[in-house]
Amino acid sequence: MTETTTDPEIDALIAREAQRRATTLQLIASETPASPAVRAALASDLGAKYAEGYPGARYHGGCEVVDEIEQLAVDRAATLFGADDVNVQPLSGSAANLAVYAAFAQPGDPVLALHLHHGGHQTHGSRANFSGRWFTGIHYNVRESDERIDYDELRELALVHRPRIIVAGGAAYSRFIDFAALRAIADDADAILWVDAAHLAGLVAGGVAPSPVPYADVVTLATHKVLRGPRGGMILAREAHRAALRKAVHPFVQGGSSMNSIAAKAVCMRESGTAEFAEYTATTVSLAQRLCSDLVEGGLRIVSGGTDTHLAVVDVSGIGLTGIEAQRRLAAAGIVVDKAVLPYDSEPVTSGSAIRVGTSSSVLAGLGVDDAPVIADAMMRALREPVGAAQHAGIRARIADLLDR
C-alpha cells in the first residue's frame, strides 16, 4: 500500500500487484526488483528538480546539489566498470541506444547486428523500431547447427558491407560473446564496436561475466535488469567519444534529466560493488544453469545447449506446444515467463516455439540452486496440462509455499 489514501483505486491495484509478485514465481529475464535504498532515492524530492544539461553547465539554477549527485553516479559507475567516460542521464536502455546511433551514424548508414529472432533486440535494426527505419539494418545469425554466433559470417558481412556500427549483445542470447574477436572485426571494417550490455551489465558488475568495456568503443546498459537499480539507461565509452555522446544524449535525444533516477543509479552503482551483490549474481547464474539441466531431464531442449548467463531460451516444440501456449499454461500455475522464438523458427513471432526464462528475481525472492529441481518439476507438470486444468491450482499452491518459505 502507498502512504496516501487520496487514490484508493491505485492503492488497491498496487497491493494486488505486490500480492501477485509475492505468490507467483517471476522468471522474466528483464525484471529485477530494485533495492529498498534505490526505491527510497526514486521517491525523494529530487524528482522535482529540473537539471537540463550536465554538472557545471546547467540551463536551470539551483543545481549545486544535483551536480554532486550526478558526478557521484558517474564516478561510481566509472570505477565499477572501469570505463573512461560515463553518461548516467539516459531515461532507458532504448534511449541510450538511440543516443549511440545519434553519435556515430547518419540516417541510412549500415549497421550490423545480431538478428532479432536469433537473440538480438528490436533497437538493433528491427523494421518495427526507429533503428530499422532510419538506418540500414544488416544482420548476422547464429549457426543452425549449434545456435551460437557465426563469427566467420559476421566478419564476411562486416568486410562486404562496411557498417558504420557493429552491435554485439541482445535480449535472448544466453552465451558469452567473444568481444576480442569482434574488436578485431570492427578494426578491419573501420566500424564502431557497440556492445548492448542491457542484460549482461549486472553479471559483469558481479564478476561472473567478461567485461566488454576494454574492447568496445561504447557500451550501453539498463540499470534495472540484473542490476537492482531504477528503470533507466547508462552509457560507458572511451574518452575519445565523450563529446559526441554527451551531445547525442542532450540536447539531441533528451531534455531535462531525471535527477531522482540518477540518484537511484548512484545507489545502484554502490550496491553493485559489494560482496553481497557478487554472491547474488553467482547464485543467479548457477540457478539458471541448474534449471536448464533439470528442464532437459524433463524432456525440453535449451537453445545453444545451455547458458552462461542468467537467462535461457527453452524450446517447447518437442512437447507439442507453442511459446504462447506454454506461457499461458505456466501462468495458470503461478509461473511467469516470456514467450520467445527459436532461431530459424517455423512458428510466427506472435506464437513462437519457445519461452525465455531468467533467474535474478527468483534469487532475490530467496530461491537458490537447490530449488531448481522443484521449479523444473513444477514447470513440466504445468506444461503438460491445458489452461483450466485442476492440477494447475495445486502447482500454484506449491509455488506459493516455496516462495513463502
Q: Is a pLDDT exceeding 60 seen at residue 2?
A: no
pLDDT (average), residues 379-401: 95
Of 319, 393, 316, nearest in space to 356 by CA = 316
Contact between residue 245 and residue 237 where contact means Cβ atoms under 8 Å apart: yes
Q: How confident is the model at residue 111 (pLDDT cuts 50, 70, 90)?
A: very high
Architecture per CATH, 38-271: 3-Layer(aba) Sandwich (3.40)
Instruction: Read off the C-alpha cell for 331.
Output: 501462468
Residue 202 is predicted with a pLDDT of: 98
- Distant-in-sequence, close-in-space partners of 377: CB < 8 Å, separation ≥ 6: 294, 298
| CA pair distance 125, 112, nearest whole angstrom | 8
Contact between residue 280 and residue 363 where contact means Cβ atoms under 8 Å apart: yes
| CA pair distance 210, 224, nearest whole angstrom | 19
Alpha helix ranges (H) inside 105-178: 130-134, 151-161
Element (H, E) at 184: helix 179-189
| CA pair distance 165, 115, nearest whole angstrom | 15
| CA pair distance 243, 239, nearest whole angstrom | 8
| Percent of the chain whose pLDDT exceeds 70 | 99
Instruction: Read off the C-alpha cell for 382.
Output: 504445468
Contact between residue 138 and residue 161 where contact means Cβ atoms under 8 Å apart: yes
| CA pair distance 138, 125, nearest whole angstrom | 7
pLDDT, tens digit, 9 for 90 and up, residues 169-216: 999 999 999 999 999 999 999 999 999 999 999 999 999 999 999 999
pLDDT, tens digit, 9 for 90 and up, residues 12-30: 999 999 999 999 999 999 9
Element (H, E) at 58: strand 57-58
Cα torsion through 60, 230, 173, 343, rounded to 10:
-90
Q: Is 126 helix (H, G, I), strand (E, B) or coil?
A: coil
Q: Is a pLDDT exceeding 80 seen at residue 1?
A: no
| CA pair distance 191, 159, nearest whole angstrom | 10
Residue 5 is predicted with a pLDDT of: 73
pLDDT, tens digit, 9 for 90 and up, residues 203-248: 999 999 999 999 999 999 999 999 999 999 999 999 999 999 999 9
Instruction: Read off the C-alpha cell for 19.
Output: 500480492
Q: Is a pLDDT exceeding 70 seen at residue 147?
A: yes
Q: Is a pLDDT exceeding 50 seen at residue 53?
A: yes
Give the chain's mean pLDDT.
96
Q: Can you state the angle between helices 259-271 and 64-81, rounded to 10 degrees? A: 30
CATH of domain 275-404: 3.90.1150.10
Q: How far, CA to CA in Å, does 229 sit from each of 203, 222, 264, 322? A: 14, 9, 6, 33
Of 364, 373, 336, nearest in space to 26 by CA = 336
Alpha helix ranges (H) inside 197-319: 201-205, 242-247, 259-271, 275-297
pLDDT, tens digit, 9 for 90 and up, residues 301-344: 999 999 999 999 999 999 999 999 999 999 999 999 999 999 99
Residue range(s) in the chain whose domain bears CATH number 3.40.640.10: 38-271
pLDDT, tens digit, 9 for 90 and up, residues 62-110: 999 999 999 999 999 999 999 999 999 999 999 999 999 999 999 999 9
Backbone angles phi, psi at 70, to 5 degrees: -65, -40
Residue range(s) in the chain whose domain bears CATH number 3.90.1150.10: 275-404
Backbone angles phi, psi at 273, to 5 degrees: -100, 10
Q: Please identify which residue in the block is written with the cell numbers 560493488.
A: 273
pLDDT (average), residues 136-157: 96
Strands (E), 66-135: 85-87, 110-114
Of 171, 182, 248, nearest in space to 212 by CA = 182
Q: What is the pTM of this model?
A: 0.95
